[in-house]
Structure 1
Amino acid sequence: MKSNNNYEDYEDLTLPYDEEDKEHLHQPSKYDIALGKYETNLDDDKIARETAALIEKHLSENDTAEVKKFLFHCIDLTTLKCTDSEQSVMKFTEKVNEFDDKYPDLDNVAAICVYPNMAEIVNDTLEADHVNIACVSGGFPSSQTFTEVKVAETAMALHAGADEIDIVIPVGKFLEGDYEGMCDEIEELKEVCGDKHLKVILETGALKTASNIKKASILSMYSGADFIKTSTGKENPAATPEAAYVMCNAIKEYHRETGRKIGFKPAGGINTVKDALTYYTIVKEVLGKEWLNNQLFRLGTSRLANLLLSDILGQETKFF
């Protein structure tokens, strides 16, 4: 008895759907396509050797008074303590005001960096010219809160007077491969910032590998970051020369690919003048002199200001 089921016809009907479905399942995302333009499979040992060789070769030539003056001008003078109060932040800001009068031959710091609820105090107190107000935002330092809260906090910080916003990537999403979730959040916060600079913190110590740092750098820039920044200073390790080397190479390659110049900010664990000179050396050698201005290079620190000032003046100075 002949069956009424025409399997050949049925198969012909479904095959195009199955093939299309298979093709869709294996289609790379736009994030995979973006990453595919760059070499992201990096060898940690090779990166360490290249970084060490660069520093050994060039660090000493940058140990000059002029470089130290420039580095001082690149500082985001930072107070992010649980003990911060309106009074303490006001005094902190007043020291920046006083700097111009006390040291008229030196350029002031680049910015004062505070929590969002302190932006208004800084805005009301700050009188020094060409010093920006930066705020950490977006559930700093863990980035573990609702996107709606991050958006609201960022908008409130800008409304209170912030010129720049520093956020942390959702590290957990990145490590799980949820690039869409990570990038959508950065894009949304950049939209809130508009023409104000958005600095995106990778928390490189939590990313562990050079490959992860390279991928996070590319994705952050792809999503609208104006700066990429190493660390919050709340995790160990914080900034490292190796992470800086990878990030600066990512910036260089991204600029070559897109024409966009993205800034670089090491932060966390910058405790000595030599540390600052090390990051200067990496930026100079990898990115070139075009990046040696405080629109594209910042140092996130509080300890370093007095140390650099002491070196510049030739005597121990505790101004800040």
Structure 2
Amino acid sequence: MEYYEEDRENLGQANKYELALSKYNTALHDDEIAAKTANLLNKYMQENNTKEVKKFLFNCIDLTTLKCTDSEESVMRFTEKVNEFVDKYPDLKNVAAICVYPNMAEIVNSTLEADDVKIACVSGGFPSSQTFTEVKVAETAMALHAGADEIDIVIPVGKFLSGDYEGMCDEIEELKDVCGDKHLKVILETGALGSSENIKKASILAMYSGADFIKTSTGKEKPAATPEAAYVMCQAIKEYFLETGRKVGFKPAGGINTVEDALAYYTIVKEVLGKEWLTNEFFRLGTSRLANLLLSEIVDEETKFF
């Protein structure tokens, strides 16, 4: 059977991604993943319920405001609270980053005074990823120009689910090229992927395409982050590291409403990936609610600082 040149090229591309996936076990069963995740949390989570762990988790927060009601004034006030934290709690490390829409990067950049706090922007047609690649590239470039240190994008979920791995991966690669040495966090929107097998495949392909972090969810789709999705993603990160030697970060986001939720993700990272990943260079929590809850438990009184 003869192929036209274009067919050969397409087949080669398809084989390229299938070959990448073939190096990993993606034949996962949801019930087995649920059982393994529950067993891990039952065995190890309680030992991590300490003040030191909560201080660490606070320092891993990407403090997030992604509301349609955000304005320059509200984002400025949001950022000023992060500045004030330094004087109010001099013995505690601050949040890891402030995460906003791209059009708010400039106001955060001009307001932020706290050291070691990054500016993260969602980009690429967040949260649906349904726009032209050229628009995603322009939006990302503009966010970086306005002061963003990190970019959070969503995979084109429809392309992934329809088997267009080339389309998905090309887009991630193009946006990573725009980011250069700035971190690119790639959101899988795990609740829309439908299975542990798909989460594993999407994790591998995102890392293969240059993701510096893989992230569970936007928080705009249900279900958002789950411990089971986190377990699969951390296993993928571990296997990818063993295969390539490249360390990729992990960020659960969406639906992280309690300290217990945060402790669960910490436990999964610690037990699956190990202590090397227990730094905010490789572990983040995307949330707005959690900061006050963690802070309250750290200082032993109910606190609504943020």
1:280 paired with 2:266, answer yes
CA RMSD of aligned residues (A): 1.3
Matches within 5 A, 1:220-299: 220-299=206-285
Aligned-partner SS, 2:135: helix
TM-score (norm 1): 0.93
CA deviations 1:33-83 (Å, max 9, x no partner) are 000000001010000000000000000000000000000000000000000
Letter aligned with residue 310 of structure 1: S
Correspondent of 2:130 among 125, 130, 144: 144
* TM-score, normalised relative to structure 2: 0.97
Distance (Å, rounded) in 1 between the aligned partners of 2:249 and 2:11: 35
Q: Structure 1 segments of 4 or more deviating over 6 A?
A: none
CA distance in 2, matches of 1:311, 1:206: 33
The answer for the alignment partner of 1:61 in structure 2 is 47
Within-5 A mapping of 1:172-211: 172-211=158-197
C-alpha separation in 2, matches of 1:20 and 1:141: 39
Q: Deviations over 1:97-144 (max 9, x none)?
A: 000000000000000000000000000000000000000000000000
**CA apart distance, 1:26:** 7.0
Matches within 5 A, 1:71-220: 71-220=57-206
Q: In the alignment, which residue of structure 2 is the partner of 1:48?
A: 34
- Partners of 1:185 and 1:163 in 2: how far apart? 20
Shift of 1:188: 0.2
Q: Residues of 1 paired with 2:195 and 2:109: CA distance? A: 39
Check if 1:38 corresponds to 2:28.
no
Q: Structure 2: how far apart are the matches of 1:19 and 1:275? A: 55
Distance (Å, rounded) in 2 between the aligned partners of 1:260 and 1:64: 30
The alpha-carbon deviation at position 20 of structure 1 amounts to 7.4
Distance 1:20 1:210 in 2: 35
1:39 aligned counterpart, secondary structure: coil
Unaligned runs of 5+ in 1: 1-17
1:4-32 CA distance string (max 9 Å, x none): xxxxxxxxxxxxxx3778x9597651000
- Tell me how far apart the structure 2 counterparts of residues 26 and 184 of structure 1 sit (CA, whole Å): 15
Give the secondary structure class of the aligned counterpart of 2:303.
coil
Percent of aligned positions that are identical:
81
Counterpart of 1:236 in 2: which secondary structure?
coil
Secondary structure of the structure 1 residue equivalent to 2:63: strand
- Matching residue's letter, 2:233: M
Q: Are residue 301 (structure 1) and residue 281 (structure 2) matched?
A: no
Larger-Rg structure: 1
Aligned partner of residue 24 in structure 2, secondary structure:
coil
Report the CA distance between 1:317 and its aligned residue.
Answer: 0.2
C-alpha separation between the residues in 1 aligned to 2:302 and 2:193? 37
Rounded to whole Å, the distance in 1 between the matches of 2:296 and 2:165 is 44
Give the letter aligned to residue 53 of structure 1: N
